[in-house]
Structure 1
Amino acid sequence: MTGRFATLAFERRVEAPLATLWQAWTAPAARAIWSAPDPSVTVEVIEARPGAGGREVSLCKVAGKPDLRCEVGWLALQPSACSVNSELVMIDGLAQSAALVTAEFLGAPEGSSLTVTVQLSSLAADMEAGYREGFAAGLDNLAGVAARTMVLERVIAAPRQVVWDAWMNTETLPLWWGPDGFSCRTSRIDLRSGGEWVFDMIAPDGTVFPNHHRYGALRPGEGFAYALLWGENGPKHADAWAAFEDQDGATKVTLGMVFSTAAEFQEARGFGAEELGQQTLGKLARFVGAD
């Protein structure tokens, strides 16, 4: 059936700051977590370039069924205010639907709110019911993800390539990574998509904290995603990303983390993870001579 049109509207209240909700909505690493409508579905982001004019391509995988390919085109983004994107859904190369998705964001003292309007055109079959169910479930997930997301930002007075090179260099990353007074002891390091960094963080009192970072999608000079594990091949405690943006000759660095559980998020906040993370970014700034 072709030529079927529908306009869908959704609203959600989210217990997270507006800037955090915006990151959860736009960051590919976070979108891969919340966009799966239920645990039987896995979303794999295979291409991502956030920002107006960029696009995101993902595969929605369900055992025993053909992959559903989703191509998102970012048309307009006003940070923490509004985003507009196109969305094309395909199965085996056949277009199933096309949509225009408009999201509006509002902040409030007690949290944030999100209003999403989807203008849907079903191309191969009537997609309205599936879209309505899938989008509603995804936005429910988004509210949970945003509530356990931590976002750190810092503007570093150095060119973006300089900051990127200091981070994505196997020799320099261990020199500055970690809060004030901490040092790194590396077992192995391979900073590429599919690579990893196995290392110990050593506190000023000598306490050793084993770490394992596994790197996912990487956009040279722009950003990357990685998973944080408790020690080598240990349990995952967060999905993270880093983004680098030009800002008047300086570089805005955004470091985001979606903790695996709300309890881990609260525990991290309790021991001062936000302050410690800012110390880490401060060490990066000093390393590149910007502070």
Structure 2
Amino acid sequence: MAGAERETSAEPATADREIVISRVIDAPPELVFEAFTEVRHLSRWWGPEGFSTTTRSFEFRVGGEWDFVMHGPDGTNYSEWITWTEIVPPQRIALLHGESRDDPNAFESTLAFAPDGAATRIVMRTVFPTRELRDQAVERYHAIEGGEQTLSNLAAYVAELTQRQGSTGQM
């Protein structure tokens, strides 16, 4: 059939353990990537609506770690830990994310930054060790809504940076 496209790729083996969230952000990949990789930026937008972040330590390099606390709107503190497993500026970041370095339930995330016209399409793919852990993250911690809100916060922050950059000529 003319004009029709057929999906030929098979569903990944991890599909039952994944959450995939995507968003187009109105800025070039280099700027979106920078907002994701520098602690001075991350602390301004990371997390779902109403959350704030306090960084204990941050080293953005393969094998480096980000040790931080997310503060929920209800006053609950959530200890978090990330180690970077792959960094390909400004295209891709892979990481392992848990509550601590020895968290047996830590999950893997891959962030892909691709040009979409003058904007950037970011795809965040998270793979949990088990389907049960993925389901728990979705049901108990609202991981899908939280991820969408986090990328929305990123988009708003990058828009602010772009506006500031346009008026001052620097970031």
Considering Cα pairs closer than 8 Å and 6+ residues apart, tell me whether 1 or 2 has the greater RCO: 2
Query: Whose strand proportion is higher, 1 or 2?
Result: 1
Paired position in structure 2 for 1:43: none
Letter aligned with residue 244 of structure 1: F
CA distance in 1, matches of 2:70, 2:18: 22
For residue 45 of structure 2, what is the aligned residue in structure 1? Answer: 176
CA contact (8 A) 2:105 2:133 kept: no
Task: Check whether the contact 1:157–1:285 (CA below 8 A) recurs between aligned residues.
Answer: yes
1:238 has 2:134 as partner = no
C-alpha RMSD over aligned residues: 2.0
TM-score (norm: length of structure 1)? 0.51
Q: As a proportion of its length, which structure holds more helix?
A: 2
Alignment of 1:1-291 (within 5 A): 81=7, 104-105=8-9, 114=10, 142-143=12-13, 145-271=14-140, 272-289=142-159
Following TM superposition, the consecutive aligned residue runs of length 4 or more in structure 1 with deviations greater than 2 angstroms are 231-237
Quote the offset at 1:232 in angstroms: 4.3
Deviation string 1:236-279 (CA, Å, 9 cap, x unpaired) is 43111101000010000011100111111111111321011000
- CA change 1:209–1:80 in 2 (3 A) is farther
Unaligned runs of 5+ in 2: 163-171
Q: Is the Cα–Cα contact under 8 Å of residues 198 and 232 in structure 1 kept in the other structure?
A: no
| Amino acid of the structure 2 residue aligned with 1:233 | D
Q: Cα deviation per residue 1:20-54 (whole Å; 9 max; x = unaligned)?
A: xxxxxxxxxxxxxxxxxxxxxxxxxxxxxxxxxxx
Q: Would the alpha carbon gap of residues 234 and 246 (structure 1) be closer, same or farther in structure 2, given more than 3 Å must change?
A: same
Deviations 1:81-117 (A, max 9, x none): 3xxxxxxxxxxxxxxxxxxxxxx23xxxxxxxx3xxx
Q: 1:57-85 deviations in whole A, cap 9, x for unaligned?
A: xxxxxxxxxxxxxxxxxxxxxx993xxxx
Change (3 A) 1:216 1:249: same
Contact 1:158 1:250 in 2 (8 A): yes
Letter in 1 for 2:99: W
